[in-house]
Structure 1
Amino acid sequence: MSEQRDGTRRSAAWFGAEGRNGMIHRSWMRNQGLGPEVFDGRPVIGIASSWSELTPCNAHLRDVADYVKRGVWQAGGLPLEFPVMSLGETLMRPTTMLFRNLMAMEVEETIRANPLDGVVLLSGCDKTTPAMLMGAASVDLPALMVTGGPMLNGKFQGRDIGSGTDVWRLSEEVRAGRMDAADLAEAEGCMSRSRGHCMTMGTASTMACVAEALGMQLSGSAAIPAVDARRYALAQAAGRRAVALVEEDLRPSKVLTRDAFENAIRANAALGGSTNAVVHLLALAGRVGVPLSLAEFDALTTEVPVLVDLMPSGRFLMEDFYYAGGLPVVLRELDGMGLLHREAVTVGGRDMATETDGARCWNREVIRTAGEPFRPAGEGTVVLRGSLAPDGAVLKVSAASPELLKHRGQALVYDRVEDYIADADDPELPVTASTVIVVRNAGPRGYPGFPEVGNVPVPKVLLEAGVNDVLRISDARMSGTGYGSCVLHVAPEAAVGGPLALVRTGDWIEIDVAARRLDLDVDREELAARAREPRPAPVDAPPTRGWAKLYVEHVTQANEGADLDFLVGGSGDAVPRHSH
């Protein structure tokens, strides 16, 4: 490693400077025990950590960071760990999605403002992964991701239970009178029994796999359990690889290509992954200038079967998925169908074909073959359009009831999700098995923040009658761990005047998933008359200050990724001004 401060690295503008500025930058760093030899021009690798005890899924990332540091030191770099905002899905209100773009902005600005040549992104919980990818992509310094890994399988009364998925299922059992509160309390202590994020194929596991399929995470790393020693060995390897990325000048813009996004979209379909991947991938594509539309999430996956038998669509959990061979096996199956871009570059420095050619499956119950899939092609996330969703809506077919995929029913409309929740246990609620529950004003601007409330509970009166699913439609999102016949992300949302705002209780709604249609069966003249009526005041007063005000004024619609309009596109790594 050169000992000359020759200015060849970005960090040399700080640590290689002469005179007063150079002294300031180096001297204060030395209070951490660093000697002068570390300022010799070696790559400076930032470790962006979303560790927080308020984010249980990420609470072990300080330990992961230590192993990343080992790898950076081994490869001759200088590791510098720094905190970024952390978004804890289970605790934050009103919803972490309100803050995804804020976290992405903080990641972007923190990387750009500091003497870094490359960065390792430590994430885990749902929104921390896309936020970090978005921020790093906008700066476009060499970067790779290390996710924290899933928890071990939950164990309850002799069987496996999964985070999120069994929360919804068991709580519904209590509401229906088929399970008592004591058993539910016992399950609470059995579900989250180790470090890590949700071990179902929820949004956290989905986005970890998506990051790997994009080429932004080392091959085979997404599914390693958080407490498995191989997770820490992987983190160490990532530290070494981060130094190499700087030497090779391999930046996110060279990895996050159109081919990479197509690989990720198809991988998500094969996994039966979270509907949230759609909105996150749209936002990330916008940051790197890759044209991507909502319609392509359907068009690219018409030939992709669901290959993985994981909750919430199936039986198994992420621990089982890892032992079966993990994502490389799924990608290899896609390759065998001619549905993988083999030349796509990865942060490992190799193409996707090389990364997956040696993948072997050890459990065909968990990961099926293309010839004998878990579910046939077209049963992942589909995109619906029609008079109720002109700009699109999404439905996870593998989590829905087959009998509701072609359905016509009368709407029961709620302007606030809280109002529906208050009514859900009312024994006099006017619902039948054919009722279509509509919850609106829960989109990006309407809530604000686009919360995960689209899988509202089935009315208690129906549960008690043995009806476990009804068609639900909203402009909200749904937890990736959730299930049910839930049409989500309806765009435009009600709060900006989309057709969802015009629906009235008693209106007939028709869905035909095979035809990709979602229609409000009200004639145009009546809808036009409704649209001319004075719009009611917002159900909640719009925010008047702070981040929420900025968010509402600039957030895009769901079909555009729900990013802030002024953050679309990258800005590079140049610091506009500097002085001391």
Structure 2
Amino acid sequence: MSTRKKSPDDLRSSRWFGPDDLRSFGHRSRMMQLGYSEEEFRGKPIIGILNTWSELNSCHSHFKERVVDVKRGVLQAGGFPVEMPSLSVDESFNKPTSMLYRNLLAIETEEQIRAHPLDGVVLMGGCDKTTPGLVMGAITAGVPMIYLPAGPMLRGNYAGKILGSGSDAWKYWDERRAGNISDQEWLGIQGGIARSAGTCMTMGTASTMTAITDAMGLTLPGASSIPAVDSNHQRMGADCGRRIVDMVWEDLTPDQIITEGSVRNAAIIAMATGCSTNAVVHLIAMARRAGVDLTLDDLDALGRNTPLIANVRPSGKDYLMEDFFYAGGLRALMKQMEDRLDCSAMTVTGKTMGENLEGAQVYNDDVIRPLSNPVYKEGSLAVLRGNLCPDGAVIKPAACDPKYYHHEGPALVFDSYPEMKKAVDDENLEVTPETVMVLRNAGPLGGPGFPEWGMLPIPKALIKQGHRDMLRISDARMSGTSYGACVLHVAPESYVGGPLALLKTGDIVRMDLENRRLDMLVDEEEIARRRAEWTPPAPRYERGYGYMFSKHVTQADKGCDFDYLQRDFGANAPEPDIF
């Protein structure tokens, strides 16, 4: 039974509905206009259910039904549920990139909560940017919150082969470009690779971010692993509804949950799962909203000492998220890592992380490996520095061919995605396996919005020779379902005059993964000369949201949040006393 710290008069919503004055009369009257009696909403926790469902968001196509489960749980616990539609930033259709709108969702989430009579919120998300966007906004708003992850879709299937969304799309696309796949086969793969509601079933950005949120203590224990269409997911939805009501009475707010310890837990588990490179940007942004100064160097240090034990594609070789769930899910993986975690960290259950992990078991030790038999001896990510990326760049070593861990080769530089896309389909392109492909003007400002262009296609000339990987560098991101020797998030980005803007085709580039270096082998005098000649590109936006984005977004190493939304920018305006 929940321990109450609040009475009905202490509820935030009572400021709207409690007083005997004209404004509260108006609020109560409008609720009655909606068909509710006073006894239904007055004196009860009002729970906002922020639902990112959309008819263009396939990852969340089950949310229309799942919100019914959440409402059932809220009502059972004595609360009053109100569904509020929220911006649905899906990966499949948002142009130029959903990352452009992550911060817009965070703003909407914060202001929706602040402006309405909500005592607590259930955040319904899952597709890549919805998780950090919702969580960032709710952290700043500060009311009790619980995150409901969409869950991964079922395994893909075609012609007896198990398919992983994203990862196998890239793989088979290269084979199609090489002429090895027929039109009929391509159509079959297209229809079989994503065959249920839910997020990508690889350990892409969606599963990475929901696992991070789970490890941070913001979901019910293990909720991130449940497949979207499994009946466990329906029950978890109702559990979220019941639990958020208790959290309101307990006054269990995000600041009690998101601490240095819980953020560190999330980073360790991200590394152990073979996380998406996008985790770096989002985790830094989420942490900083809570006042935790997480840095790239912190993440690299954890990566060097955290083994990758989730054998899930693309960093793993054999399994998908459905297999991960059957093997015990995130609780089982965290139990394996228990000695490395801060088990005293508080969670949305009102219990510590250690208490939540009691009884967790691994049921398949090839899917969730023991520490003595990791998929990769270090964690999923490594942070590089050097004269090409003084503020950092990111690579996923476990997902690329080890022969590129130390590599030197001539740069082949492209200034735009269309230029690069046209060139790689030219079978006469002058390129060798030693060439280092470079794409610039694809960062937060240059993209615009930091698009997922970083897994540059292998040139057709090399594909026909049998090559399937090469060193690629960009200031872009890449999909968490991607793989290969791709260096990403080069900071500062080229669009603002970072060193990548000064690189020329033919310059020799060296990557030394062991020593975490990425350099162009060009002398400092020549670099200075090129810098003096560099001309800033024209602005991408002259009005609207894009203009605001371009004026205030931070660079990749700082999380790409808006500068004025970070914790140290200033205090929130107090909520008005007069309504």
TM value normalised by structure 1 = 0.97
How many Å apart are 1:219 and its aligned residue? 0.3
Instruction: Report the residue type matching 2:218 in the other structure.
Output: M
TM value normalised by structure 2 = 0.97
How many Å apart are 1:537 and its aligned residue? 3.5
How many Å apart are 1:247 and its aligned residue? 1.0
Q: Distance in 2 between matches of 1:283 and 1:475?
A: 18
How many Å apart are 1:363 and its aligned residue? 0.9
Instruction: Report the residue type matching 2:556 in the other structure.
Output: A
Give the corresponding residue for 2:337: 334
Give the corresponding residue for 2:543: 545
Give the corresponding residue for 1:516: 516
How many Å apart are 1:33 and its aligned residue? 2.6
- Counterpart contact for 2:60–2:198, Cα < 8 Å: yes
How many Å apart are 1:524 and its aligned residue? 0.2
The reply on whether 1:49 has 2:51 as its aligned counterpart is: yes
Paired residue total: 573
Q: Distance in 2 between matches of 1:6 and 1:163?
A: 47
Give the corresponding residue for 2:374: 373
- Counterpart contact for 1:151–1:225, Cα < 8 Å: yes
- Counterpart contact for 1:271–1:308, Cα < 8 Å: yes
Give the corresponding residue for 1:446: 446
Gap change, CA 1:385 and 1:27, over 3 Å in 2: same
Candidates 205, 221, 224, aligned match of 2:223? 221
Per-residue CA shift, 1:338-364, capped at 9, x if unaligned?
Answer: 311110111011111111121111111
Gap change, CA 1:393 and 1:128, over 3 Å in 2: same
- Counterpart contact for 1:198–1:205, Cα < 8 Å: yes
Instruction: Report the residue type matching 1:360 in the other structure.
Output: Q
Please report the RMSD computed on the Cα atoms of aligned residues, expressed in angstroms: 1.6
- Counterpart contact for 1:152–1:194, Cα < 8 Å: yes
Gap change, CA 1:384 and 1:6, over 3 Å in 2: closer
Q: Distance in 2 between matches of 1:366 and 1:471?
A: 29
Q: Distance in 2 between matches of 1:404 and 1:417?
A: 23
Percent pairwise identity = 47
SS at match of 1:373: coil
How many Å apart are 1:248 and its aligned residue? 1.0
Give the corresponding residue for 1:498: 498
Q: Distance in 2 between matches of 1:5 and 1:384?
A: 52
Candidates 326, 340, 343, aligned match of 1:323? 326
Per-residue CA shift, 1:457-508, capped at 9, x if unaligned?
Answer: 1000000001110100000000000011000000000011110000000000
- Counterpart contact for 1:64–1:148, Cα < 8 Å: no
SS at match of 1:434: coil
SS at match of 1:269: helix
The reply on whether 1:554 has 2:557 as its aligned counterpart is: no
- Counterpart contact for 2:8–2:44, Cα < 8 Å: no
- Counterpart contact for 2:217–2:262, Cα < 8 Å: yes
SS at match of 2:265: helix
- Per mean C-alpha deviation after superposition, the further-off stretch among 226-235 and 310-319 is 310-319
Q: Distance in 1 between matches of 2:578 and 2:424?
A: 57
- Counterpart contact for 2:495–2:537, Cα < 8 Å: no
Give the corresponding residue for 2:237: 235
Q: Distance in 2 between matches of 1:203 and 1:434?
A: 29
How many Å apart are 1:376 and its aligned residue? 1.2
- Counterpart contact for 2:497–2:536, Cα < 8 Å: no
Give the corresponding residue for 1:89: 91
Instruction: Report the residue type matching 2:348 in the other structure.
Output: V
Q: Distance in 2 between matches of 1:410 and 1:6?
A: 69
Per-residue CA shift, 1:156-199, capped at 9, x if unaligned?
Answer: 11121011111111111100112122211111111111111111
Candidates 107, 110, 129, aligned match of 1:108? 110
Give the corresponding residue for 2:76: 74
Q: Distance in 2 between matches of 1:489 and 1:161?
A: 28
- Counterpart contact for 1:16–1:39, Cα < 8 Å: no
Give the corresponding residue for 1:150: 152
How many Å apart are 1:35 and its aligned residue? 1.5
How many Å apart are 1:237 and its aligned residue? 0.5
How many Å apart are 1:21 and its aligned residue? 1.2
How many Å apart are 1:7 and its aligned residue? 3.3
Per-residue CA shift, 1:309-329, capped at 9, x if unaligned?
Answer: 111122211111000000011
Unaligned 5+ residue runs, structure 2?
none
Q: Distance in 1 between matches of 2:448 and 2:429?
A: 28
The reply on whether 1:344 has 2:363 as its aligned counterpart is: no
Give the corresponding residue for 2:187: 185
Unaligned 5+ residue runs, structure 1?
none
How many Å apart are 1:32 and its aligned residue? 3.1
Q: Distance in 1 between matches of 2:123 and 2:537?
A: 42
Q: Distance in 2 between matches of 1:315 and 1:573?
A: 51
How many Å apart are 1:417 and its aligned residue? 1.4
Q: Distance in 1 between matches of 2:237 and 2:21?
A: 37
Q: Distance in 2 between matches of 1:188 and 1:67?
A: 32
Give the corresponding residue for 1:20: 22
- Counterpart contact for 2:62–2:198, Cα < 8 Å: yes
Give the corresponding residue for 2:294: 292
- Counterpart contact for 1:112–1:574, Cα < 8 Å: no
Per-residue CA shift, 1:259-291, capped at 9, x if unaligned?
Answer: 111111110110001011110011111111111
How many Å apart are 1:557 and its aligned residue? 0.3
Gap change, CA 1:11 and 1:240, over 3 Å in 2: same
